[in-house]
Amino acid sequence: MAELSDVYFVDGVRTPFGRAGEKGMYAQTRADDLVVKAMVGLMDRNEEVPKDRVDDVAIAATSQTGDQGLTLGRSTAILAGLPQSVPGLAIERMCAGAMTAVTTMGASIGVGMYDVAIAGGVEHMGRHPIGANADPNPRFVAERLVDPEALNMGVTAERIHDRFPHLTKERADRFGMLSQQKVQAAYEAGSIQPDLVPVSVQGADGAFGLATEDEGRRPETTLQGLAELKTPFRPHGRVTAGTASPLTDGATISLLAGGQAVTELGLAPKMRMVSFAFSGVQPEIMGIGPIPSTEKALAKAGLSIEDIGLFELNEAFAVQVLSFLDHFGIDDDDPRVNQWGGAIALGHPLAASGVRLMIQLAAQFAERPDVRFGLTAMCVGLGQGGSVVWENPNYTGKKKRK
């Protein structure tokens, strides 16, 4: 009989993230091939896990069409060389797709149905712009269920500025600049590169190259430069390209396992899943979504926000992260938050981003045995939030020396 199990994040990798569009490094690369490359990289560095022990593969994409369609979990598993006995599925929760893939597979492990699972996400925003093939039901507008502009994420960010005037453009600009600087510092320290899987790419001229780093970084960003940027979502607005995540292509993948499989296969997990939660909010201000989802996840874990020693928050927009920090009484530049920067600099390939947060938190846990709990959280289009609380297996209880 199946028994309840702990759920472990064993490992995670991702492709370098590329700028979306014709000039981006993945313009000639298929979305499913990005997943396959990441999946092969994950299994190659976890050879102690027999491929036929994978119980399921969940891959998320927001625009499930073309090379992001055809039941991604199953098709990419076959393409990556997993046995045909391994099933797979596709998941869609907009920005929280990969996060939902992890929590869904994690829940299946937790109730003893699965021992080992793969979960991740992909978004090729150059080939599949968000909402490009969507056909929203006319009732949304006719019955005023949702404001028509609620589907425009930039407009929802402007509305957070409206609702919380103390979350100023100046604070958002500073947060955006610091994100760029922190990512650059992490690159210079070699913190991000170990979890990147190089991808062979072909340019528009037919020449082949190798994608080894995230393409959208702008470490030269200054406050003066940010102050002069246009506000595309509203005349005289506050949200700019410097305080929003850029359109991005990329894939992420993770390996999850239960306690029995960890012992049997001799695995060294990087994190233990403590709790997770998703919440709904008004679509018009979707950016506040991680506030209620985090409150739910903390309650389920029996923890408070003070117990969280590291935060990985998805920077869809600077003001969105600031609203979260403000609610929980955390300073804008608290060193626990996005220690290696975030999506403003790295990019946000929608359904892939949740596992990027987990990859970075896991790497930080390894460096911080003084930290017991961490949080990955993100806002989600159409008014949702998602949060996962993790425990550090390296925790020693000893405080870090100053």
Return the pLDDT at 42.
Answer: 98
pLDDT at 150: 80
* Spatial distance between the Cα atoms of 143 and 95, rounded to a whole number of angstroms: 26
Q: What is the pLDDT of residue 401?
A: 58
124 belongs to the catalytic site: no
Q: Which residue has the tokens 């608290």?
A: 334
Per-residue b/e over 218-235, b at no fewer than 16 CB within 10 Å?
beebeeeebeeeebebee
**DSSP reduced 3-state for 263:** helix
Give per-residue pLDDT as tens, 3-37: 999 999 999 999 999 999 999 999 999 999 999 99
- How wide is the angle at C-alpha 314 spanned by C-alphas 246 and 190, nearest 5°? 85
**C-alpha–C-alpha distance, residues 274 and 361, integer Å:** 14
Structure-token match 């598993």, residue found: 77
- For CA atoms 277, 280, 283, 286, the dihedral sign is negative
Listed in sequence order, the DSSP H helices in 45-152 are: 72-79, 97-110, 139-142
Q: Is 95 a catalytic site residue?
A: yes
Identify the residue whose tokens are 């296969």.
Answer: 265
**Regarding beta strands 116-124 and 88-91, do their DSSP bridges make them parallel or antiparallel, or are they unpaired?**
unpaired
User: Which of 52, 15, 55, 12 has the alpha carbon at shortest distance from 33?
Assistant: 15
pLDDT digits (tens, 9 = 90+) for 278-299: 999 999 999 999 999 999 999 9
Question: What tokens does 299 get?
Answer: 């309650």
Q: Please report the pLDDT score of residue 191 as a whole number.
A: 98
Distance of CA 46 to the CA centre of its chain: 22
Is 348 catalytic? The answer is yes
Spell out, as residue ranges, where the chain has pLDDT lower than 50: none
pTM over 0.85: yes
* 95, 124, 128, 161: the active-site residue: 95
Q: What is the pLDDT of residue 400?
A: 66
Residues 6+ away with beta carbon under 8 Å from 237: 158, 161, 231
pLDDT tens digits along 75-97 = 999 999 999 999 999 999 999 99
Catalytic site residue from 124, 128, 161, 348: 348
Q: Determine the pLDDT at residue 331.
A: 98
The pLDDT assigned to 321 comes to 98
**Catalytic choice (124, 128, 161, 379):** 379
